[in-house]
Structure 1
Amino acid sequence: MPMPSVINMLVRSQEKQPLLPHPSHPSRGYNTLSFNNNQEKGSLTSSIPYTSHLSPDKRSLLLSLRTKIILSMVAIPAFLLASSAVTSLGPLTPRDIVIRSPEPAEAHTTSNSNLFASVQGPLISTQFADPAIIAHNGISYAFATNNKGVGADRINVQVATSTDNKTWTLMDHHDALPHVGAWETGAGVWAPDVVQVDDGSFVLYYADVPTWAPQHHCVGAATSKNITGPYVPLSQPFACPNVTTKGGAIDPDGFHDIATNKRYVVYKVDGNSLGHGGACMNSVAPIVPTPLMLQQVAADGVTLIGKPTQILDRDDIDGPLIEAPSLHRSPQGIYFLFYSSNCFTTPKYDVSYATANNVLGPYTRSNRPLLITSDAGLVGPGGMDIIKGGGMIVFHGHMTIQNDPAEYKQAQNISASTGTPVTSVNLPLIRGMWSATATFSGTSVSLA
């Protein structure tokens, strides 16, 4: 049976949290392991008359008018492209227009498909959102948001491993953070990141729900001598902007700047948790800020140095928020701040980036996101992390019947029992893991 189109199968775009438990269904390149310890110029005909017989002033006026008309005619198609055939825009460089896809285009093979040739996945097709990657002793480790399990099946911080960065093994029933701190409830452990510090030990950054504010998150930190844990949490939050006025914080990511030997943690102030409704609670005016903050830390990765610095905030193009920051310094000395914009439950979610000559900024946004829906057949790519030193990135994307036979089978079963067309079946949101190879040149990055 032919697969339905991606757009017809964006059954999770209703911007709501899933209410059903998530199935477990390994796919190709994915295994489970029991572990006990641990993406010829066109012509334009103008209606303005020939101008050589006119005075210089009038000719200049008409030429200026012609220029405005031409620019308007160029701008309109650019907007239409951004809202429809995203994949037909051609090369990512030069980046001469801003693209955010209001309604993502249906995926299809185009001349620019090789721009995402390095994208691989899904490498993990179960719930593995917000993946973070670190290499240690020849093994790559990916850490991810909780698995949404219930009771004994609940895993706060998931871990998967790979020796070739192609085939990944999930550590079955292994929790890198089996016990949370006294300040947190464990109700929503999100977006972990692991770094190795100077003494050889490891620090796990993550977000969780504080006991005094069950509708919000704060950033926590935990330490371990082993990369897979168990990690022991600090007794107090690492970062917790006032939950009543700021909204708390999520999505921490550690960064070691080899140019200065300074360590930082970048995170998101979770302002949309105080929003007034709509997509991710923050598309109804007044829109609440969701700034990305940079906090310097000592060599141990957890002792704060000074106050955090705001390095970026959302704008109108970003929709309700920016989040999931990750920092990288290229060999040319350019700082890349990767982040996601729009709402994670929708196909509008993306991987964007901004660049600066200094880790503190100012940061300039790229003209096109690194990854959007339809690039490499992806839906809602986001939550990206980059391996230390660059080269490899990991990120999550929506699992659909287009990319996961188990999803398709589940939709078929529901369709058969309810009489609902397969294309109308609403399945819980599952975000699996993809990877890609990143190549940096100046202020641009390619996934070709």
Structure 2
Amino acid sequence: MTARSIRNLCAAALAAAILLSAPASAKVRRRSNLALVMNGQNFPDPGVIRTGDGWHAFSTNGVVNNQKIHVQMAYTPDFKSWTFRGTKDAMPKLAPWIHAATPKIWAPDVTQLPDGSFIMYYCASLAVKPETHCLGYATSKNAEGPFVDNSNSAWICPQSHGGAIDPAGFLDAGPNKRYVVYKVDGNSIGHGGECGNTVKPIVPTPLILQQVNVNNGRDLIGSPIQILTNGPANGPYVEAPSLTYMGGKYVLFFSSQCYATPKYDVSYAISDNITGPYKKYGPLFVTGTLGLTAPGGMDVAINGDHAVFHADFVKKDLPGGGSSNSPKDAGSAQVIEQAPWANDGDLPAAKIEEDAL
């Protein structure tokens, strides 16, 4: 996705959701009033982690007060009142393998390890081939860093297939196995069209499951496994995978369609087994859902208790008062309560129904 940095100019918002289990007959419902989050701060591709002091969120690179920030951060003690960390950078120094002038640090995801330390998975442009992204990891003793990556080469880097982006960690607590899911960035070598990959032949953009060492989160175990890939209904790709387990099912959230268009969405797939096969459902969130435009990049916490995603929010009469300060009058992020799936894993189509408040 060579033009992905454009998203940083689009006032992408952080939206937050509390995702609750529901009876088997439940449909997707809005169960609370919307509330503003970070007042439209540009915070794309968010990842979230819960620690003893609250919740920490991490985002794709941005510019704050004319200062380039590799990994943006935000914090909330209660998942309601969010504080943007401003110019504080979770990874201020770059690894040697990253292109220094245009590092393009995207989609960071932080996981806590058994010893209490933290590992951050991320993607960045290669020093030797800046048009290609690959995955790296950085470590820290603290949730907000500074995270350090001293590697001389990228961690996971399928260059011939377009590289890799959008890593997210997942601990399968039952068997005590740790995984990383990510996207092979095939559309970066596509033949044109929306997001570079709607002109035939369409290049595959598979979502990959890779087991890693449960203790250090970085040593690769076994071979990568394709668990989903793009089809005709997905536009140029599937991307932004986030894996969770609930109701006895593995649920894989992902985005499809082109992020630079209003067609971008949040979809999902379900499987009885972590390695698949996964059946696609959705989309869950699309343009028009709760007033959002181009929602995507959802990251789901363990067991689906909480999730974050980004979207544009056009300024109208914003619920709860206030307004967006972004250049496009977009990005006023929302707190949303949802009940988007049934306990048996039979997620309905994304039909929004109002509950009595």
Q: TM-score w.r.t. structure 1 length?
A: 0.68
- Aligned counterparts of 1:292 and 1:432: Cα–Cα separation in 2: 30
Q: Could you tell me which residue of structure 2 aligns to residue 228 of structure 1? A: 144
Change (3 A) 1:119 1:286: farther
Change (3 A) 1:361 1:121: farther
Compute the displacement of 1:433 (Å): 4.6
Change (3 A) 1:435 1:392: farther
Contact in 1 for aligned 2:324/2:332 (Cα 8 Å):
no
- Aligned counterparts of 1:131 and 1:323: Cα–Cα separation in 2: 14
Change (3 A) 1:148 1:273: farther
Q: Greater helix share, 1 or 2?
A: 1
Compute the displacement of 1:176 (Å): 0.4
Report percent identity of matched pairs: 42
Q: Could you tell me which residue of structure 2 aligns to residue 188 of structure 1? A: 104
> CA-to-partner distance for each residue in 1:37-95, whole Å, 9 max, x for gaps?
xx7xxxxxxxxxxxxxxxxxxxxxxxxxxxxxxxxxxxxxxxxxxxxxxxxxxxxx989
Compute the displacement of 1:149 (Å): 4.9
Change (3 A) 1:193 1:16: closer
- Give the SS at the match of 1:380: strand
Superposition pairs of residues 47-446 of structure 1, within 5 angstroms:
115-118=29-32, 120-124=34-38, 125-149=40-64, 153-186=67-100, 187-235=103-151, 236-242=153-159, 245-298=160-213, 299-330=215-246, 332-366=247-281, 368-402=282-316, 405-406=323-324, 427=328, 433-437=333-337, 439=339, 440=341, 441-445=343-347
Contact in 1 for aligned 2:211/2:221 (Cα 8 Å):
yes
Change (3 A) 1:19 1:196: closer
Contact in 1 for aligned 2:48/2:55 (Cα 8 Å):
yes
Contact in 1 for aligned 2:122/2:167 (Cα 8 Å):
yes
Contact in 2 for aligned 1:396/1:434 (Cα 8 Å):
no
- Aligned counterparts of 1:205 and 1:119: Cα–Cα separation in 2: 33
- Give the SS at the match of 2:29: helix
- Aligned counterparts of 2:33 and 2:190: Cα–Cα separation in 1: 34
- Give the SS at the match of 2:187: helix
- Aligned counterparts of 1:269 and 1:20: Cα–Cα separation in 2: 21
- Aligned counterparts of 2:224 and 2:144: Cα–Cα separation in 1: 29
- Give the SS at the match of 1:154: strand
> CA-to-partner distance for each residue in 1:19-40, whole Å, 9 max, x for gaps?
996789x99x9xxxxxxxxx7x
Larger deviation: 130-139 or 353-362?
130-139
Question: What is the root-mean-square deviation of aligned Cα atoms in Å?
Answer: 3.0
Compute the displacement of 1:180 (Å): 1.2
Instruction: Compare CA radii of gyration and give the structure with the larger one.
Output: 1
Change (3 A) 1:289 1:155: same
Contact in 2 for aligned 1:131/1:433 (Cα 8 Å):
no
Contact in 1 for aligned 2:169/2:178 (Cα 8 Å):
yes
- Give the SS at the match of 1:232: coil
- Aligned counterparts of 1:201 and 1:342: Cα–Cα separation in 2: 36
Q: TM-score w.r.t. structure 2 length?
A: 0.84
> CA-to-partner distance for each residue in 1:345-382, whole Å, 9 max, x for gaps?
1110110000001110000111x211111111111110
Change (3 A) 1:119 1:224: farther
